[in-house]
Amino acid sequence: MKLTTPTTAAALAEQFGADLLGDGAQEVTGLNEIHHVEPGDLCFVDHPRYYAATLASAASVILIDRPYPCPEGKALLVHPQPFAVYNGIVWGQRPRADETAERSEAPVVGAGTYVAPGAHLGRGVVIGDRCHIGPNAVIGDGCTLGDRVIVSAGTVVGGEAFYFKRTADGLLPWRSGGSVHLEDDVFLGPCCTIARGVSSTTVIGAGSKLDAQVQIGHDCKVGRHVQMAAQVGVAGNCTIGDWSILQGQAGIAQNVKLGERTVIMAQSGVGRDLEGGKSWFGSPVQEARKAFRDMVLVRKLGDKA
C-alpha cells in the first residue's frame, strides 16, 4: 500500500521509539509484505529464519526485532515489536470507518450502473459504467470495479484478509492495507468473498466468471477469462493463469502459481505450482491422466483380493 504522505526512516524511528541503523534519510513511500515489496517500501521481520530474505529484498526500510548489520543503501528500525509498529502504521493509513460520522470520500458510480437496495459501497469506491451491484452486496473501502461488472447478491468484495500474527497472547489480526480491483466484464455469483490484499491489490482479471460461494484470498492475481465453479477456495497470494478452469470445490493452497489454461478438476487439492495447459486431479493433485490410471490399477487390486 502507498502512504498518503511519504515519510523517512528517521521520522518513523522517532515516532515509534525505534533505534535507527543505516540511512535515516531513506524515504518511505509505502508498506508491503515480503511477497510484493518494492523500492521505497517498509516491511518488517521478527524471526531469524527470514532475516536474510528480507534484508536482501527491494525494501528500503526494514523493521526488525534486534540489531543486525544494515545492508548498504537501506535503513533498519530496531524495535522489540516490529509487527505492532507495522500494524500501527497501517491502522493510521486505514482507520476503521465510523458510520456515525459525516461520510467522506463518497463512492463514484459510472453511467448506467445499478446499485440494488441493501448494497453497501464503502469510502473511496470507484465503479465503472453499466455495472450491476446486487442486493446486500458489499464493496469495501477503496475497491475499484471496471465496466460491465456484475456483483451478485450477498457477495463481499474487499473484506479483511484472513491474516493473523501468532503470538503468546493469541492470534493478532493483521490490518489489511491493500484493496481489490475487478477488471471489465467480471461476474461474481451470489455469496462470493474476495479478500482485499494485505499490502497489495487483489485482482480479478477481465472477463473472469466466478460461481456462487467462491472464496479468493488476499493478494491473489486471477488472470483473464478464468472460470471457477461453486465453492472453489483460493488461499492468499496465489496467481491463476489466463483461461484457467477450476471446477467445483477445488482448493488451492497459499502462494501457488497456476500456468495459463490450467484445468483443476472437482474437489482436487493443489499445494504446489502447476504447469499450464494440462488437466489436474486428486489430492494431492497430479496430472489427470495419471490419476485416472492409478485409480483403475487400485480397483483392479481390489478385484484380485
Q: Is 218 a catalytic residue?
A: yes
From CA 131, how far away is CA 114, in angstroms rounded? 6
Provide the CB-side half-sphere exposure for 224 (13 A, CA).
3
In this structure, how many other beta carbons lie within 10 angstroms of the beta carbon of residue 16? 17
Q: Which of 160, 203, 197, 165 is nearest to 181 (CA)?
A: 203
C-alpha pair distances (Å), 192 with each of 11, 43, 247: 41, 30, 15
Residue 177 · residue 159 · CB < 8 Å: no
C-alpha pair distances (Å), 4 with each of 28, 119, 200, 264: 11, 28, 15, 40
**Residue in 36, 79, 181, 218 annotated catalytic:** 218
C-alpha pair distances (Å), 296 with each of 43, 268, 280, 292, 299: 50, 18, 16, 6, 5
User: What are the catalytic residues?
Assistant: 218
